Amino acid sequence: MSPVGVKLVCPLCRATVVDGAEPSGGACPGCAARYAGGGDDARGGVAAAIAAWGVAGIDADRAGEGLFRLLPDDPLNAQVTVTSDRRDGYYRWWVFVADGVDPATALAAAEAHAS
Ligand SMILES: [Zn+2]
């Protein structure tokens, strides 16, 4: 699958993070949020982000579920969120953690929202 046309927009500030290249993790040019992931689904994105950041003790299934269960007005949405990029074919999923937020702390808080 050609990476041409891939677009990843920061879910925290709406800046365009990647446009036309294959995302590989890094920081948002708009708000400095860190992002990682690239899984084929939300759980895979969370698992890849956990691996990229070296976070221990987080269950990717539960953290991913917890992120989806957050209500729109939950303040945790401003700290950690999962989003998909846009591309032809299957999109990939990325976790964004706001600048200054510890990924381990934020993902543990997300995991606590799982059923
Ligand atoms: Zn941003």
The angle formed by the CA atoms of residues 22, 34 and 3, to the nearest 5 degrees, is: 5
Cα(10) to centroid(ligand 1), Å: 5
Cα(8) to centroid(ligand 1), Å: 11
Residue 115, pLDDT score: 86
Residue 1 lies in a domain: no
Residue 4, pLDDT score: 65
pLDDT at residue 32 greater than cutoff 60: yes
Q: What is the mean pLDDT of residues 53-80?
A: 95
Residue 2 lies in a domain: no
Residue 92 lies in a domain: yes
Cα(113) to centroid(ligand 1), Å: 24
> 79 near 109, Cβ under 8 Å?
yes
Cα(89) to centroid(ligand 1), Å: 25
Cα(16) to centroid(ligand 1), Å: 8
> Cα Rg for the chain, rounded, in angstroms?
13
Q: What is the mean pLDDT of residues 1-16?
A: 85
Domain that holds residue 65: 7-111
Cα separation, 105 vs 108, whole angstroms = 5
Residue 54 lies in a domain: yes
Q: Which residues surround ligand 1, an ion (CB under 5 A)?
A: 10, 12-13, 15, 28, 30-31, 33
Question: Around 6, how many Cα atoms within 13 Å sit in the side-chain half-sphere?
Answer: 19
Residue 99 lies in a domain: yes
Work out how many domains the chain is built from and give that number.
1
Cα(56) to centroid(ligand 1), Å: 25
